[in-house]
Amino acid sequence: MAVCTCCSRVSEADSLVIAAVQIMTGIFCIFMWYLLLILYMGQIKGVFGTYEPITYKTGCSLWGIFFIISGISIIRATWYPSQRQLTCAMLVNILCIILAIISMILTIVELSTFKSVSYRNYGQAKLGREISRVLLSFYPLEVSMALTYAVFGCVGLCRKKEDARTADTEEVEDAF
């Protein structure tokens, strides 16, 4: 991760890469949710019922929309840097961290508890669990990307506030 020499913040190129990874991760999660939607809607009611995991009911994969919004806010903060844009990008990234951790927990709970389903829906349930395993590998990626930007964004905001205070102090000293 390249850090600017003038201050401790993420460079523009790295910010854009983080944003691109977040947008791609969000799009992938939404596509996987759509696949799960088609998969679980096609279930046949059997003797033991249908398989509807908690991640499907809560729409954890659909939360990828927030990953996309986070990537877009990082791009805006990179192209038009201001304290307001950086704060907004940081808050959205913190929200993404929380949502990704909740998604990880729900996916782990789903994968650890598996009730048997009717033989007609067993293949769909097994495929759905494999999709959940794939999504489980993407949530730590999202946490790490959002955490990286949030930490360096916070350091950059603190640095900007210190620079503003120093500039104000120098203006007052120059006036005397």
145 to each of 9, 12, 51, 152, 161, how far by Cα in Å? Answer: 14, 15, 32, 11, 24
Give the span between the Cα atoms of 86 and 153, in whole angstroms. Answer: 7
pLDDT of residue 41: 78
End-to-end Cα separation, the chain, in angstroms: 43
- At 59-85, the pLDDT tens digits run 888 888 999 999 999 999 889 888 888
DSSP 42: T
pLDDT of residue 101: 94
- At 99-157, the pLDDT tens digits run 999 999 998 998 888 766 666 677 777 888 888 889 899 999 999 999 988 888 777 77
User: pTM for the full model?
Assistant: 0.77
Q: What is the mean pLDDT of residues 85-91?
A: 89
> For residue 93, what are its two tokens?
């990234």
Backbone dihedral angles phi then psi of residue 47, each to the nearest 5 degrees? -65, -40
Taking the CB of residue 15, how many other CB atoms lie within 10 A of it?
Answer: 22
- Secondary structure (3-state) at 3: strand
> For residue 87, what are its two tokens?
């704060």
Mean pLDDT across the chain = 80
DSSP 61: G
DSSP 43: P
28 to each of 6, 109, 137, 151, how far by Cα in Å? Answer: 36, 22, 12, 25
Most confidently modeled range among 4-13, 35-44, 99-108, 114-123: 99-108
Higher pLDDT, 162 or 150: 150
Beta-ladder partners of 76: none
pLDDT of residue 124: 78
Q: What is the mean pLDDT of residues 30-57?
A: 77
Place of tokens 């944003």: 19
**Degrees, nearest 5: CA angle 131-133-134:** 65
> For residue 131, what are its two tokens?
């999709």
pLDDT tier for residue 86 given thresholds of 50, 70 and 90: confident
